[in-house]
Chains A and B, each alone.
Chain A
Amino acid sequence: MSGVSFMLRGLWFFRRSYLGVLAGAALGAMVLLGALMAGDSVKSSLQKVAAARLGKVNAVLAGGDRFFRAGLAGELTGAATQAAPVLWVKATASVQGSGRALGDVQVLGVDERFWLLGPGAGGTTTPPDRGFFVNAHLARSLALAPNESLVLRLEKPATIARDAPLAGKAAEVIALSGEVSEICGDARFGRFSLQTTQLPQATVFVPIERLQQALGLAGKANLLLVNDRKMPDRAELSERITHRCTLADYGLSVEEVPLAKAVEIRTSRIFFDRQVAAVIQHRFPEAQPVITYMANTIATNGKTTPYSMVTAVEAAAAPFLPDQLDGVVLNAWEADDLAAKAGDEVRLDYYALDASNRLVERSARLPVAGVVPLTDLAADRRWMPDFPGVASAEKTADWDAGVPIDVKRIRDKDEAYWDAHRGTPKLFLPLQKGRELFGNRWGEFTALRVPAAVASRDAVAAGLLESMTPAVAGLVLQDTGKQGLAAAASPVDFAGLLLGMSLFLMAAAVALTAMLFRFHIELRNHESGLLAALGISPNKVMRWRLLEGLCVVVAGSAIGALLAVAYTRFLLALLATIWSGPGGQGLFRFHVEAATLAGGMAGFVCLMMGVIWAVTRKQARQSASLRLEAGTEEVVRTGAGPVPWWALGLAAGGLAALTGRGVLGVPGAFFLAGFMLLLAGLAVYRWVLRRRAATACDGLSPRRLADLNCGRRPTRSLVVVGSLAGGVFLVVSVAAFRKSGGDDWEQRGSGTGGFAYWVETTRAVTRGNATQAADDVLDLGAARSHFGRVLPLRIGPGDDASCFNLNSVTRPRLLATDVATLAQLGAFPIKQVLAGCGKDWNTLREGPVLRAFVDETTLLWVLKKKLGERLLYQDEWGREFPVEIAGTLDGTVFQGSLVVDEARFLQHYPSAEGPRLFLLEGTPRGEGAARLQLALADQGAMVSTTGERLAAFHQVENTYIAIFHLLGGLGVIVGSAGLGLLTARNLTERRDEFAILHSLGVPEKTTRRVIRLEAGQFIRWGLGIGLLAAMVAILPALYAGGTAHGLAWIGLLVVVIAANARFWSWLGYRRHLRDALRH
Chain B
Amino acid sequence: MAMIEVAGLTKIHETQTEALRVLDGLALEVAAGEAVAIVGPSGSGKTTLLNLLGALDQPSGGTIRIAERNISGLTTAEAARFRNRSLGFIFQHHHLLPQLSVLENVQVPRLAGDWEETPAETEARARDLLHKVGLDHRLQHLPWQLSGGERLRVGVARALLNRPCLVLADEPTGLLDAAATERVAELLLQLNREEGVTMVVVTHNATLARRIGRTLELTQGKLKEVVR
- Residues of A participating in the B interface, judged by any CB pair closer than 8 Å: 1-3, 6, 9-10, 12-14, 526-527, 529-538, 540, 623-628
**Quick check: B47 and A627 within 8 Å, CB to CB?**
yes
Q: A3-B111, A3-B113, A12-B99 are in contact. Are A537 and B54 (CB under 8 A)?
A: no
1/0 per residue B103-131: CB within 8 Å of A? 01001111111000001000000000000
**Quick check: B56 and A531 within 8 Å, CB to CB?**
no
**Residues of B contacting A1 with CB < 8 Å?**
100, 104, 107, 110-111, 119
**Quick check: B54 and A626 within 8 Å, CB to CB?**
yes
Select B56's contact among A3, A13, A623, beta carbons within 8 Å: A623
Q: A14-B99, A628-B93 are in contact. Are A537 and B111 (CB under 8 A)?
A: no
Task: Report B69 CB to chain A, min CB distance, Å.
Answer: 15
Within B109-157, the residues touching A (CB, 8 Å) are 109-113, 119
**Quick check: B47 and A626 within 8 Å, CB to CB?**
yes
Complex CA distance for A536 and B170, rounded to whole angstroms: 20
Q: A13-B98, A530-B95, A534-B89 are in contact. Are A626 and B51 (CB under 8 A)?
A: yes
Q: A13-B99, A532-B80, A623-B56 are in contact. Are A6 and B51 (CB under 8 A)?
A: no
Task: Report B194 CB to chain A, min CB distance, Å.
Answer: 22
Q: Residue B50 at the A interface, CB < 8 A?
A: yes
Complex CA distance for A490 and B109, rounded to whole angstroms: 58
**Quick check: A625 and B84 within 8 Å, CB to CB?**
no
**Quick check: A535 and B109 within 8 Å, CB to CB?**
yes
**Residues of A contacting B79 with CB < 8 Å?**
535
1/0 per residue B50-84: CB within 8 Å of A? 11001011000000000000000000110111111
**Quick check: B113 and A535 within 8 Å, CB to CB?**
no
**Quick check: A530 and B97 within 8 Å, CB to CB?**
yes
Task: Report B1 CB to chain A, min CB distance, Å.
Answer: 23
Nearest-CB residue, chain A, relative to B122: A1
**Quick check: A534 and B56 within 8 Å, CB to CB?**
no
Instruction: Give the interface centre of A9, A529, A623, A624 by most chain B CB atoms within 10 Å.
Output: A624
Select B108's contact among A2, A534, A627, beta carbons within 8 Å: A534
**Quick check: B111 and A624 within 8 Å, CB to CB?**
no
Complex CA distance for A787 and B213, rounded to whole angstroms: 116
A-B contact pairs, 7 of them (CB 8 A): A531-B108, A532-B56, A535-B79, A535-B81, A535-B112, A537-B77, A623-B56
Task: Report B36 CB to chain A, min CB distance, Å.
Answer: 17
Q: What are the 7 A-B residue pairs with the smallest beta carbon separation, nearest first?
A: A535-B84, A13-B99, A535-B83, A536-B112, A535-B80, A530-B95, A537-B80
Select B54's contact among A530, A533, A628, beta carbons within 8 Å: A533
Q: Residue B26 at the A interface, CB < 8 A?
A: no
**Quick check: B95 and A536 within 8 Å, CB to CB?**
no
Q: How many residues of B contact A (CB 8 A)?
A: 35
Complex CA distance for A6 and B98, rounded to whole angstroms: 12
Task: Report A490 CB to chain B, min CB distance, Å.
Answer: 53
Complex CA distance for A903 and B56, rounded to whole angstroms: 90
**Residues of B contacting A538 with CB < 8 Å?**
76, 80
**Quick check: B82 and A535 within 8 Å, CB to CB?**
yes
Complex CA distance for A625 and B95, rounded to whole angstroms: 13
Nearest-CB residue, chain A, relative to B126: A1
**Residues of A contacting B87 with CB < 8 Å?**
535
**Residues of A contacting B82 with CB < 8 Å?**
535
Complex CA distance for A121 and B106, rounded to whole angstroms: 72
**Residues of B contacting A10 with CB < 8 Å?**
99
**Quick check: A9 and B99 within 8 Å, CB to CB?**
yes
**Quick check: B89 and A626 within 8 Å, CB to CB?**
yes
1/0 per residue B28-64: CB within 8 Å of A? 0000000000000000000100110010110000000
Nearest-CB residue, chain B, relative to A544: B111
Q: Residue B214 at the A interface, CB < 8 A?
A: no
Nearest-CB residue, chain B, relative to A529: B95
Q: Residue B204 at the A interface, CB < 8 A?
A: no
**Residues of B contacting A532 with CB < 8 Å?**
56, 80
- Residues of B participating in the A interface, judged by any CB pair closer than 8 Å: 47, 50-51, 54, 56-57, 76-77, 79-85, 87, 89, 91, 93, 95, 97-100, 104, 107-113, 119, 158, 170
Instruction: Give the interface centre of A2, A9, A532, A537 by most chain B CB atoms within 10 Å.
Output: A537
**Quick check: B112 and A534 within 8 Å, CB to CB?**
yes
Select A527's contact among B80, B93, B97, B158, beta carbons within 8 Å: B97
Complex CA distance for A6 and B112, rounded to whole angstroms: 12
Q: A3-B113, A625-B57, A626-B89 are in contact. Are A537 and B47 (CB under 8 A)?
A: no
**Quick check: A626 and B112 within 8 Å, CB to CB?**
no
**Quick check: A9 and B100 within 8 Å, CB to CB?**
yes
**Quick check: A533 and B57 within 8 Å, CB to CB?**
no
Complex CA distance for A415 and B98, rounded to whole angstroms: 118
Nearest-CB residue, chain B, relative to A537: B80
Task: Report A529 CB to chain B, min CB distance, Å.
Answer: 8
Nearest-CB residue, chain B, relative to A11: B99
Complex CA distance for A470 and B170, rounded to whole angstroms: 99
Instruction: Give the interface centre of A6, A532, A533 by most chain B CB atoms within 10 Å.
Output: A533
Complex CA distance for A532 and B82, rounded to whole angstroms: 12
Task: Report B109 CB to chain A, min CB distance, Å.
Answer: 5
**Quick check: A540 and B112 within 8 Å, CB to CB?**
yes
**Residues of A contacting B98 with CB < 8 Å?**
13
Task: Report A621 CB to chain B, min CB distance, Å.
Answer: 10
Task: Report A260 CB to chain B, min CB distance, Å.
Answer: 108
Complex CA distance for A628 and B104, rounded to whole angstroms: 21
Q: A1-B104, A533-B83, A537-B77 are in contact. Are A625 and B111 (CB under 8 A)?
A: no
Complex CA distance for A702 and B96, rounded to whole angstroms: 37
**Residues of B contacting A531 with CB < 8 Å?**
108, 111
**Quick check: B89 and A533 within 8 Å, CB to CB?**
yes
**Residues of A contacting B110 with CB < 8 Å?**
1
Task: Report B5 CB to chain A, min CB distance, Å.
Answer: 21
**Residues of B contacting A2 with CB < 8 Å?**
119
Instruction: Give the interface centre of B91, B93, B107 by most chain A CB atoms within 10 Å.
Output: B91
**Residues of A contacting B95 with CB < 8 Å?**
526, 529-530, 628
**Quick check: A536 and B80 within 8 Å, CB to CB?**
yes
Task: Report B57 CB to chain A, min CB distance, Å.
Answer: 7
Q: 13 other contacts beyond A535-B81, A625-B57, with CB at 8 A cut-off?
A: A1-B100, A1-B119, A9-B99, A9-B100, A13-B99, A531-B108, A533-B56, A534-B112, A536-B109, A623-B56, A625-B51, A626-B91, A627-B47
Select B83's contact among A9, A527, A534, A540, beta carbons within 8 Å: A534
Complex CA distance for A933 and B206, rounded to whole angstroms: 108
Complex CA distance for A617 and B119, rounded to whole angstroms: 31
Complex CA distance for A650 and B113, rounded to whole angstroms: 50
Task: Report B151 CB to chain A, min CB distance, Å.
Answer: 13
**Residues of A contacting B113 with CB < 8 Å?**
3, 540
**Residues of B contacting A627 with CB < 8 Å?**
47, 51
Task: Report B203 CB to chain A, min CB distance, Å.
Answer: 14
Task: Report B53 CB to chain A, min CB distance, Å.
Answer: 10
**Residues of B contacting A628 with CB < 8 Å?**
91, 93, 95
**Quick check: B109 and A534 within 8 Å, CB to CB?**
yes
**Residues of A contacting B111 with CB < 8 Å?**
1, 3, 6, 531, 536, 540
Task: Report B19 CB to chain A, min CB distance, Å.
Answer: 18
Nearest-CB residue, chain A, relative to B50: A626
**Residues of B contacting A527 with CB < 8 Å?**
97
Task: Report A522 CB to chain B, min CB distance, Å.
Answer: 15
**Residues of B contacting A6 with CB < 8 Å?**
100, 111
**Residues of A contacting B170 with CB < 8 Å?**
626
Task: Report B175 CB to chain A, min CB distance, Å.
Answer: 14
Complex CA distance for A14 and B100, rounded to whole angstroms: 12
**Residues of A contacting B76 with CB < 8 Å?**
537-538
Complex CA distance for A1014 and B64, rounded to whole angstroms: 48
**Residues of A contacting B81 with CB < 8 Å?**
535
Nearest-CB residue, chain A, relative to B58: A623
**Residues of A contacting B56 with CB < 8 Å?**
532-533, 623-626
Complex CA distance for A2 and B95, rounded to whole angstroms: 20
Task: Report A11 CB to chain B, min CB distance, Å.
Answer: 9
Complex CA distance for A628 and B91, rounded to whole angstroms: 9
**Residues of A contacting B91 with CB < 8 Å?**
530, 533, 626, 628
Nearest-CB residue, chain A, relative to B56: A624
**Residues of A contacting B107 with CB < 8 Å?**
1
Nearest-CB residue, chain B, relative to A629: B93
